Amino acid sequence: MIIEPRTRGFICLTSHPDGAAAHVKKQIDYVKSKGEIKDGPSKALIIGASTGFGLSSRITAAFGSGASTIGVFFEKPAKANRPASAGWYNSAAFEKAAAAEGLYAKSINGDAFSDEIKQETIELIKKDLGEIDLVVYSLASPRRKHPKTGEVHSSVLKPIGQSFENKTVDFHTGEVSNIKIDPVEKQEDIDNTVAVMGGEDWKFWIEELKKAGVLAEGVKTVAYSYIGPELTFPIYRNGTIGKAKDNLEGTVSELNDLLSEENGKAYVSVNKALVTQSSSAIPVVPLYISLLYKVMKEKGIHEGTIEQMQRLFAERLYAGEGVTLDEQGRIRVDDWEMRDDVQVEVQKLWNRANSDNLEEISDIKGYRKEFFQLFGFDFDEVDYDKDTNELIDIPSISS
Ligand code: NAI
C-alpha cells in the first residue's frame, strides 16, 4: 500500500516500514561510527525497547558492545491496508539488522506491567541467555493495570497547587497561544500518575528477575528521568509527572539494596528533552524543545536519542572509573541542555516567541521533521510514492 502520514493532534495514526528501517539504520550507523564501547553490556533486557530512548538503548547495547538483547514493548502489528505502529516496524528493522551481524535479538510484545509478560520474559532469558547483565527500564505509558490489584491507573499531566499559564505551540501550524492548565484537583490523580510512571513497576521487574536467578554478577539497571528548566517546572518537575519522577528516582536506593548480593547497581539517568511520542503530548514542552533545538544546534551540541544513549553508555555507565553522579545520586546526560549559556538563550527566545516569528527564531521545522520521522516519514532516502508491504513481521515474534 501507499502509506501517508495521518495525524490527529500530537498523534500520528500511520507509520511507514521503510522509513522506520531508515531511522533504525541511521541510529546503528551512528553507534558504529563511535566505535566499540569497552566492557559494555553483553546480555541486555530493554523494557520499552521499540521507540525513543529505549530503542536507542537497545541499538547502543547491540551495535556498540555486541550485546544480545531482549526487547519488551507494546505495539500493534499491521493488518491488510492498516500499517503497524512505528515501534513494531522499528523492532522488525532492528531484529533484521542484528541478525545480519550475527547478534542475538528477540522481542516480546505485550503489557510489561503485567505478571504474565514478566514471566514470559524470564522464561526466554532462562532458555536463551541464562542471565542478563543490563536491565534498561524505559516505559512511557498513559496508563497501567496494576498486576496485584487489577486497578487501572491513568496518569494526568497537571500542575499541583495552582494553575499554570504560559505559551504553547501547535507544532503542525506553528501557532503560539496561551494555555492555562488548572491544577490537579484530587490527590488520587497524583497517586495514579505515580502508579503509572513512578518506580513500582521497575522494582517489580527487578524483584522477579532476581527471584528467578537470572541477574548476572555486577548487573546494572537504569531508568530515565527528566528535570528541565524552571519555565516548565509547573507542568513537569513540580507537576504530577514530576511526582512520579521523584518516586522513580527514590526507587534507586531500594534497588541497590535488592541487588547487593549480585554486586549490582541501579541508576536513574536524567536525559535531555527530545521529540518522542511521549514528550509531544505534554503542553508547553514542544515550544521549549523547538527553541532548545535552535540554540543547541547553533552551538553544535544538539543530540537526539541515539547520541544521548551512546554517551550514557560510553561515558557514564561503562566509562570504567566509577559512574559520576550528581548530589541526588543521578546520572546526568542533560548536562548540555542545562548549561547556563543554553538556558539563558532559550529564555530570551521564549520571551520573544509568537506565531509571527516562530519559524525564524525557533527550530520548529526540525521539531516537525523529527516528529514525522518517529513514524517513519520525511526520510529523503525513502520513496513514499512507491507501493510498500505493510505486513512486516518481527522475526522473533512471528516465528
Ligand atoms: P516513547 O513513547 O518513545 O517509548 C515508550 C516505550 O514504552 C515504547 O517502547 C512502548 O512500546 C513502551 N510501552 C508503553 N507502554 C507499555 C506497556 N504497557 N508494556 C510494554 N511496553 C510499553 O517514550 P520516551 O520518550 O523514550 O520515554 C522513555 C523514558 O524516558 C520515560 O521514562 C520518559 O519519561 C523518559 N524521558 C523522556 C524524555 C523526552 O524528552 N522524551 C526526557 C527525559 C526522560
Cell of 119: 514471566
**For the residues 215-242, what does the mean pLDDT come to?**
97
Quote the percentage of the chain above a pLDDT of 90. 96
Q: How many residues does the chain have?
A: 399
Q: Give the pairing of strands 152-154 and 143-145.
A: antiparallel
Q: Categorise residue 35: left if φ over 0, alpha if ψ from -120 to 50, beta otherwise.
A: left
In contact, 69 and 105? CB cutoff 8 Å: yes
* Residue 2: predicted pLDDT: 97
Distance 49 CA to ligand 1 centre (A): 8
Going by the DSSP 8-state scheme, the letter that residue 333 receives in this structure is S
* Residue 9: predicted pLDDT: 86
pLDDT in tens, 169-214: 999 999 999 999 999 999 999 999 999 999 999 999 999 999 999 9
223 CA: nearest ligand 1 atom: 32
The answer to whether the CB of 274 is under 6 A from ligand 1 is yes
* Residue 281: predicted pLDDT: 85
In contact, 235 and 193? CB cutoff 8 Å: no
In contact, 349 and 291? CB cutoff 8 Å: yes
Give Cα 41 distance to the centre of its chain.
Answer: 19
CATH topology of domain 7-148+190-277+303-334: Rossmann fold (3.40.50)
Longest dimension (CA), the chain: 59
| Residue 334 in this model has a pLDDT that exceeds 80 | yes
* Residue 319: predicted pLDDT: 95
The reported pTM is: 0.98
pLDDT in tens, 292-330: 999 999 999 999 999 999 999 999 999 988 899 999 999
Which phi and psi angles does 134 have, rounded to 5°? -145, 135
pLDDT bucket at 10, cuts 50 / 70 / 90: confident
pLDDT in tens, 64-110: 999 999 999 999 999 999 999 999 999 999 999 999 999 999 999 99
* Residue 68: predicted pLDDT: 98
Distance 54 CA to ligand 1 centre (A): 7
pLDDT bucket at 163, cuts 50 / 70 / 90: very high
> Helix, strand or coil for residue 199?
coil
The answer to whether the CB of 279 is under 6 A from ligand 1 is yes
* Strand runs labelled E in 288-372: 331-332
pLDDT bucket at 151, cuts 50 / 70 / 90: very high
pLDDT bucket at 398, cuts 50 / 70 / 90: low
Sole residue written with cell 505509558: 141
289 CA: nearest ligand 1 atom: 40
- DSSP code string of 373-397: HHTT-S-TTS-TTS-----PPPHHH
- Residue with CA nearest ligand 1 atom 27: 140
* Residue 399: predicted pLDDT: 45
Q: What is the mean pLDDT of the chain?
A: 96
The answer to whether the CB of 87 is under 6 A from ligand 1 is yes
Domain coordinates of the chain in residue numbers? 7-148+190-277+303-334
- Alpha-carbon gap, residue 175 to 38, rounded angstroms: 47
- Alpha-carbon gap, residue 70 to 75, rounded angstroms: 15
Cell of 89: 516496524
Give Cα 382 distance to the centre of its chain.
Answer: 25
The answer to whether the CB of 276 is under 6 A from ligand 1 is yes
Could you list the active site residues? 236
Instruction: Give exposure, 9-41, as e/b (b: 16+ Cβ within 10 Å).
Output: ebebebbbbbbbbbbbbebbebbeebeebeebb
Q: Categorise residue 131: left if φ over 0, alpha if ψ from -120 to 50, beta otherwise.
A: beta
pLDDT in tens, 247-269: 999 999 999 999 999 999 999 99
**For the residues 340-365, what does the mean pLDDT come to?**
97
* Residue 276: predicted pLDDT: 87
Instruction: Give exposure, 261-300, as e/b (b: 16+ Cβ within 10 Å).
Output: ebebbbbbbbbbbbbbbbbbebbbbbbbbbbbbbbbeeee
The answer to whether the CB of 90 is under 6 A from ligand 1 is no
- Alpha-carbon gap, residue 80 to 76, rounded angstroms: 13
